Amino acid sequence: MTARIDPALWPRVSAAFDAALELPTTERERWLREQSPDLVEPLRTMLQAHDGTAELPALSALHELQSELPPVPLARPGQRIGPYRLIERLGGGGMAEVWGAAQVTGPMAGRHVALKLPRPDPRLGERLRDEHALLLGMEHPHIARLYDAGEDQGQAWLALEWINGQPIHRALADQPVRQRLVTFLQVLDAVRYAHARLVLHADLKPANILVGPDGRVKLLDFGIARLLHGTGPRAFTPGLAAPEQQRGETLTVATDVYGLGGVLAAVVPEAQRSRALAAVIARAQAELPAARYANVQALADDIHRLLDHRPVAAMAGARTYQLLCGLRRHRWPVLGVVALCAGLAAALWQADNARREAHRAEVANHYLLDLFKTLDRRAPDAADPAAALHRLLTERAARIEAALPEDPDTADALLRITATLHDYLGDARRSRELGERRYEALKARHGLRNERTQLAGMALVWPTLAGHDPGAARRLLDELNTALPDRGLMRAEWLLARHELREREGAPAEEREALLRQALVRYAADAPDDSGHAATWLALSELLATTGRTPEALAAVDQALVQVPRAQPYIASDHARQLLHRASLGAPSATADEAQALQLLRGSVGLRAPFVRRALTALVARRCRVDAPAANALASEAGLPGCAPVP
């Protein structure tokens, strides 16, 4: 007869059991003796069942599937399953075990994976196939990737991305609450992505959400997931499942919202919660699904409100709280008569500042319009607008430097425009000269801690790198590192630039990959729509491709292409480079990608822009192998060498 556990003990037993599995086997008995007496026997029985020496106790009528199953035969380190060799047991539950494994055959030999092995029951094998089908459509940076699936002598298996990380509540335990909320937004993004593909996770808990050393979140274990409005197993994690899940009712998006509330409660313990955060968690975990957030986006919106010190929707009726939020966001003007005077002074200053800004904008607009008006259709370079613009820029920059306006801010704006245009025209030397002048002037006026100085410094990094002067680039990055904040767009750009520098210095791929992944964390948290976000995914894809990790490289460039439509600013040449890179990896869409990339380039910077030269050279080489005349025509248009003559 299978033992049963008192339902009142489920939450405590479940949490204690998860903790016990992380202990070495030799320490578990000592640990058991230290537990509450009412937990000892249930835990001992469950651990014995886990080790294959006893039957698993039934946790509820809804767990009949698990309680009927025989003990799991122990897998062994070194055992071969499919093309994989088991290395170490990573964990397990009532329906499956997960092993770290290495691929030993095939083109990806040496790759490490998490190998999921269901217990030997046809129903669980079917669930694994369902999980496989659900994950096939999932490509998201915060969802563990599916690599492969199969069966070996009756043992079904699923090969997933092996995540080197800790459960989210442990990984963030020492972080400030604000940083925990920022990281939690990654979880929400992953679940929102799944819901957009009509997939419910149905088992959201800290153990299924790992955070790696680089701060990236990975959502795991879609073992009991199901399609929205579809069916799935009536299994759940006691103490963590939504009320409707425990009752065996239909599951909806609200079920995952409840699970996310539980994860957030574990990430930020009760003693560390503000009143607003407590209200957010309470709403996410409301008893009735209709009383919860309508969807994951609504929960994410309230987290963003918390981070911005704005009133959360979960406390919409609390007027005093809303007033306090307003005071916190605008606390300095609330100073009585002093505030009135200060406000008047500020208003006058802002009006004067607005006039200055308007003047600077007018000068800059006049500069650009006048520049284009001077494009002479009769000039020898009229047929080549890029060459004509380059000539005019050189002439205009010399005039600017000879007679800069007295207003230093207007002079700065003109130098910034001219340096940027030189950069886009491929004249890194001239862009660097102007950028250095601008950076030094701002540093002298405002100091290194000033945001404008830092922006000028980051803008200077790229032409310095393009000028093949890694020593100067390193000195500049080191100087900026002492002043830049740890978070924000400029820190993300700094990490991307640091990767570029280390690449030029011949740093190991592992170090460069770590820098790129840190940059992706910052972009995702602080500037998800900045064009640098997509550029970083492309850089990661190019790096992965050079190390032979083609499937991962394809996934990374696909993520770049997901980002680029909403990138600010949208840069057509960057979009083209991403498409050409995906084509170079042998993607099924290669022909369409190449055609779209050439269309984008012809409609923007042309095929002779220096920063697309490498990608177009590779494209010409690929076409030389299949259609030499077409390749030579493209090479001629791009100003590149054509196909080598056949001996």
> What are the binding residues for ATP?
116
Say if residues 488 and 526 touch (Cβ distance below 8 Å): yes
> 66 is written with which tokens?
């698990």
Q: What DSSP state is assigned to residue 272?
A: G
> 429 is written with which tokens?
């030397």
Residue found under tokens 């820190």? 491
> 295 is written with which tokens?
């969807």
Is there a cis peptide before residue 569, judged by omega within 30 degrees of 0? yes
Residue 164: which residues within 8 A CB-CB, separation 6 or more? Answer: 212, 213
Which of 109, 131, 130, 120 lies closest to 156 in space, CA to CA?
120
Angstrom distance (rounded) from CA 417 to CA 411: 10
Q: What DSSP state is assigned to residue 330?
A: T
Say if residues 469 and 477 touch (Cβ distance below 8 Å): no
User: How many other CB atoms sit within 10 Å of the CB of residue 500?
Assistant: 20
For every residue of 104-138, DSSP letters joined together read -SSTTTT-EEEEEEE-S-HHHHHHHHHHHHHHHT-
Q: Where are the beta strands (DSSP E) in 452-592?
A: none
**Burial zone of 70 (CB within 10 Å; 0-12 exposed, 13-18 middle, 19+ buried):** exposed
Angstrom distance (rounded) from CA 576 to CA 425: 17
Angstrom distance (rounded) from CA 327 to CA 226: 45
- Determine the Cα angle at 54 with ends 49 and 60, to 5°: 60
* Amino acid type, 382: A
Say if residues 339 and 346 touch (Cβ distance below 8 Å): no
> 221 is written with which tokens?
């274990």
Residue found under tokens 């694994």? 128
How would you label 207-242 residue by residue, b for 16+ Cβ within 10 Å and e otherwise?
bbbbbeebbbbbbbbbbbbbeeeeebbbbbbbbbbb
Angstrom distance (rounded) from CA 610 to CA 60: 66
Residue 277: which residues within 8 A CB-CB, separation 6 or more? Answer: 177, 181, 268, 306
Residue 204: which residues within 8 A CB-CB, separation 6 or more? Answer: 191, 256, 259, 260, 262, 263
State whether residue 230 is helix, strand or coil.
Answer: coil
| Residues pairing with 80 in the sheet | 85
For residue 149, give the H/E element and its range.
Answer: strand 146-152
Angstrom distance (rounded) from CA 123 to CA 232: 11
Which of 191, 216, 188, 215 lies closest to 302 in space, CA to CA?
188
Q: Annotated binding site: which residue ranges? A: 116
Pairing state between β 112-118 and 209-211: unpaired
Q: How far is CA 193 from CA 140, 144, 206, in A?
A: 8, 13, 19
Angstrom distance (rounded) from CA 204 to CA 533: 28
